[in-house]
Structure 1
Amino acid sequence: MKLSKPLFMASGKRDTSLFNRTSELISFEQHIDWNRILKHDPFKCSQSLICQIAAGAEMKNSAANAIYEFVQYSVENNKKVPSRIKQSFERGLSFNQFNETDYSNCFAHYPLCIYSAKTMLKLLDLHTKLFQPWT
């Protein structure tokens, strides 16, 4: 299902030109169980993170840019993405007015999640370092 208005295509909010859409990545995206993610996220922190990143939080963070690009592509091209994920992304884009604090508008929509995008990205990085097997 295509977005009614692909805001992110015309907005130029983030430079995602560094990301290469490999067939492996596209295959990975098709197998994301978005409903499982939402089911195990009672505080809606995943939606808050998506909203904040789309609103411009952590624009210099490579992980945030990867998440943005991943969600952007999934929202536009994957019919299995739940409407709550799409709404979080579109909401964040609508808040993005190129001000440093635009992402703070997301907090009112996800009041149970007390973490900023910066904190959640640090937690994801820590999780990766602690639990990802050495390769």
Structure 2
Amino acid sequence: MNYIPHIFILLGIVGVSKAHHFIKVVILAGLGLAGLWMVHMLAQDYGHINNSGGGGGGGGKAFGKRSIDSPKQNEINWEFILSRDPARCARSFICQLAAQDEEQLDEVGNNILKLTRLSAQKDSWASKQLLEALKYGESAVNPNQCMKLYKFCPYSSQTMTSLLKFFGG
């Protein structure tokens, strides 16, 4: 009996199975990087609002950088951030901050919540998304519920706050 065709079929099935898991890992890694990039952009806006320079090094206009000379330099550009946030890390961050007691939040967390509440009062797509995240966070028992709702974002609010402090100056 010839077992060679059976062995090739078995190896083919195992190969497809392994490739399927690899593809999942690549997609999740891409979403994670997108979330980190979004936090970096949020940190730049936050840094410009606090007049701390915004991190990111260099003063030139590189790809993906925005000019700080814009007329709305004291606002976070939520439309830009949310439209480029496939993992929904910004919404998860806002939700997790809103789910915590205000006494537990540091200065950065309190400032982000204040800026978000001001932005959520406007009539735009981004403000509706922010308002939804705020409301869910305020009704959540703990921040882990927000992480379950926004399950594609693997970062906790503490991690994102640390990134904001690092990139935001």
- Fold equivalence (TM over 0.5): yes
Give the percent of matched residue pairs that are identical in Structure 1 and Structure 2.
30
User: Which residue pairs with 1:93 in the alignment?
Assistant: 138
Using the TM superposition, give the Cα deviation of residue 55 of structure 1 relative to its aligned residue in structure 2, in angstroms.
0.5
User: Aligned AA for 2:148?
Assistant: A
State whether structure 2 residue 153 is matched by structure 1 residue 113. yes
User: Aligned AA for 1:107?
Assistant: M
Q: Say how many residue pairs are matched.
A: 96
> In the alignment, which of 109, 120, 126 is matched to residue 166 of structure 2?
126
State whether structure 2 residue 118 is matched by structure 1 residue 51. no
The normalised TM-score by structure 2 is 0.51
The normalised TM-score by structure 1 is 0.63
Distance change (3 Å), C-alpha of 1:104 and 1:57: farther
If each structure's helix is expressed as a fraction of its own residues, which one has the higher value? 2
User: Which residue pairs with 2:118 in the alignment?
Assistant: 73
Ranges of 4+ aligned residues in structure 1 off by more than 3 Å: none
User: Which residue pairs with 1:28 in the alignment?
Assistant: 74
**Which of 1 and 2 has greater Rg?**
2
Which aligned pairs between 1:7-18 and structure 2 lie closer than 5 A? none
Note the residue ranges of structure 1 that are not aligned, 5 or more in a row. Answer: 1-25, 130-135
Note the residue ranges of structure 2 that are not aligned, 5 or more in a row. Answer: 1-71
Decide whether the 8 Å contact of 2:97 with 2:109 is kept in 1. Answer: yes
Decide whether the 8 Å contact of 2:97 with 2:105 is kept in 1. Answer: no
RMSD of aligned alpha carbons: 2.1
